[in-house]
Amino acid sequence: MRVLTRKRKLSKAMDEIASITLWGFNLMFLLLIIWILYTILSKGLPKLTPNFLVELPDEINIGGGIGPVLFNSFYVLFISLIISIPVGVGAGIYLSEYAQKNKFTFLLRMSVESLASVPSVVFGLFGMAIFVEYFHIGLTIIGAAVTLALLNLPVITRVTEESIRALPIGLREASYALGTTKFECIRTIVLPAAFNGIVTGICLVAGRAYGESAVIILTAGTSTSGRMWDFNLFSPGGTLAVHLWYIQSEAIVPDAKEIADKAAAVLVLVVLMINFLLRIPVWFKEHKFKI
């Protein structure tokens, strides 16, 4: 009995120690995240001026801005989303609503899963092989946007499929019972009900595409056309993420360090904003449930 009690005491002590260690460890990790965000933002934000956001980058002199690259970031993101949202959502609808259990569906699922795991640099090389070497259009915004769209497709497909699958089957049955066709059922019942999930997924993808750099370097290059508001799809389209890499490791501008600090702060700030947007539908949902 005494041995047992001693053992029990020992395991209780171990339990206490483990709990305290885990608490301490996790609080440290939380502090680490906060410290990282603080480091990035505190280095860049104080020096940030509105001019920096719209001015042209300079290769030699002090005082270059990030205007065209910031514009390209959003422009490439926007075009890639225009391409990937209809296709990705369509594929998600097919997999959840139409696909029968056969070999073709199995192959489709395999390709979605495999595509999702293909490293982004391989997508970049693929885009380069097609747009630069096959079509000979050089490093362009459109090449980057299409490649980025392909990179994001599997994620949008999976998110759409999952959020449609989560809907109760009764919704669909009720709609069919009223005589709607499958398309009307999907358009008026299924998609609105799965809207929140799909939007959350798209926001996630947008954040990823916005920060993606390997694909952009290989398909759009590191430079820009050197003009602000250049909507030409065939001009080179270095984005902010690429510019940060370029300025940090390759550039010869004297104030490269300061530009890098500011560019990183802007990058993270936009990511924080996208994350905030992401929370809104979730927040709405929770709020609705409470009422």
Partner 1 sequence: MKKSNLKLINTTLKVRQSNKSFNVNKFRRNFSNILFKYFCLLSSSILFITLFSIIFFIGKTGILVFKDVPLQTFLFSTNWTPEEHHFGAAAIIIGTFVLTGMTLLIATPISLAIAVFLSEIAPNWLKRIMRPMIDLLVGIPSVVYGYLGMTVLIPFIRRITGVDMGDGILAAALVLSLMVIPTITRISDDSLTVLPNEYREASYALGSTRLQMIWKVILPGAKDGIVTAIILGMARAIGETMAVVMVIGNVAQLPITLITPTSVLTSNIVMQIMNVQSDSTWHNALYMMAFLLLLISFILIACIRLIRNKGEQTI
Residues 111-150 that bind partner 1 (CB under 8 A): 111-115, 117-126, 128-130, 133, 150
Considering beta carbons, is residue 78 or 98 the nearer one to partner 1? 98
Residues 61-100 that bind partner 1 (CB under 8 A): 86-91, 93-95, 97-99
- Interface residue with partner 1 among 154, 201, 236, 238 (CB under 8 A) is 154
Considering beta carbons, is residue 58 or 97 the nearer one to partner 1? 97
Candidates 23-31, 54-62, 64-72, 228-236; binding stretch for partner 1 (CB under 8 A) = 23-31
Furthest-apart CA pair in the chain: how many Å? Answer: 83
Told to check if 42 binds partner 1 by CB under 8 A, we report no
Considering beta carbons, is residue 125 or 228 the nearer one to partner 1? 125
Q: Do residues 77 and 206 make contact, with C-beta atoms less than 8 angstroms apart?
A: yes
What CA–CA distance (Å, rounded) separates 101 from 202? 27
Candidates 49-57, 61-69, 173-181, 227-235; binding stretch for partner 1 (CB under 8 A) = 173-181
Q: How far is CA 200 from CA 117, 186, 203, 228, in A?
A: 20, 19, 5, 31
Told to check if 51 binds partner 1 by CB under 8 A, we report no
Strand partners, 224: 237
Told to check if 229 binds partner 1 by CB under 8 A, we report no
Candidates 53-61, 62-70, 175-183, 228-236; binding stretch for partner 1 (CB under 8 A) = 175-183
Backbone Cα Rg of the chain: 25
- For residue 178, the Cα-to-chain-centroid distance in whole angstroms is 39
Residues 180-219 that bind partner 1 (CB under 8 A): 180-184, 186-189, 192-193, 204, 207-208, 210-214, 217-218
Q: In the Cβ-directed half-sphere of 281, how many Cα atoms lie within 13 Å?
A: 15
Per 3-state DSSP, the chain is made up of helix, strand and coil in percentages (nearest 5) of 80, 0, 20
